[in-house]
Amino acid sequence: MWAGGRVEFLAPIAVGAALTRVTTIAAIRAKRGASGDLLFVTLQHDITADGIATIREEQDLVYRAAVTGSTPPAESAPAPAPEPAEAIRRVTADPVLLFRFSALTFNAHRIHYDRDYARDVEGYPGLVVHGPLIATLLVDHAQRELPGLTPRQFSFRAEAPMIDGAPFDLCLTKRAGGARLSSRNAAGKITMRAEIAF
């Protein structure tokens, strides 16, 4: 699963430029979490356009051991009070949106489009909303609220899975040179935190 990432926009990309991406493994870390053994892998992607460095991206991926139970452990603590935000937009991720995003990104993981598999094999209560989809929606939210600004850096970190069906909120609070962003599920729990700089 995609747990987080960082993107630097180094230079504009001209229409028709020849793009090259070089990917390297930057780090591999094994950890033990509440859900079992985890393997964190950080990939670095360097993208050039006609030989000019344009984008540097790091992806934090997490691999977990096979699920042994049918459902993940229930959360014992109630969600804290929602953090204040200057701009909130409500979104609902339905199965059609998840399937289309899977197709667009060539993501064949069944947790995003096969409800029976997500529930019965992986132990989720429903379809899992893609981390990169939430991150993309957060960038879009920032650009709608702060029009005319060009992103320079964007970073995000997933904190909990988002499940389809219920509406969720995209939240933005302005700060000098950019904004803090987050997504909150229907219960008000933050599922992703992000920052964008312009």
Gap between the Cα atoms of 127 and 120, Å rounded: 11
What 8-state DSSP symbol labels residue 74?
Answer: P
pTM: 0.85
61 with 1: CB under 8 angstroms? yes
Tokens at 23, concatenated: 């990917």
Whether 35 shows a pLDDT value over 80: the answer reads no
Q: What is the pLDDT of residues 122-140, one digit of tens each?
A: 899 999 999 999 999 999 9
**Confidence check: pLDDT of 93 > 80:** yes
Q: State residue 2's pLDDT score.
A: 86
| Same fold for the pair 1-66 and 83-198 | yes
Q: Which residues of 136-168 are buried (b: 16+ CB within 10 A; e: fewer)?
A: ebbbebbeebbeeeebeebbbebeebbbbeeeb
Domain boundaries, the chain: 1-66, 83-198
Q: What is the pLDDT of residue 100?
A: 95
> Is 144:14 a contact under the CB 8 Å cutoff?
no
pLDDT confidence bin for 80, thresholds 50/70/90: low
More confident residue, 131 or 77: 131
**Candidates 3.40.50.720, 3.10.180.10, 3.30.365.10, 3.10.129.10; correct CATH number of 1-66?**
3.10.129.10
Q: Hey, what's the torsion of the CAs at 161, 189, 134, 123, to 10 degrees?
A: 10
Strand 87-92 with 167-175, pairing: antiparallel
Higher-pLDDT residue of 1 and 153 is 153
The whole-number pLDDT of residue 110 equals 94
Q: Could you tell me which residue, 83 or 139, shows the higher pLDDT?
A: 139
CATH number of 83-198: 3.10.129.10
In this structure, which amino acid lies at residue 122? E
Query: Tell me: the pLDDT tens digits for 155-197?
Result: 999 999 999 988 999 999 999 999 999 999 999 999 999 999 9
Give the tens place of pLDDT for each residue, 39-71. 999 999 999 999 999 999 999 999 987 766 544
- The overall average pLDDT reported for the chain is 91
Separation of alpha carbons 3 and 27, rounded Å: 14
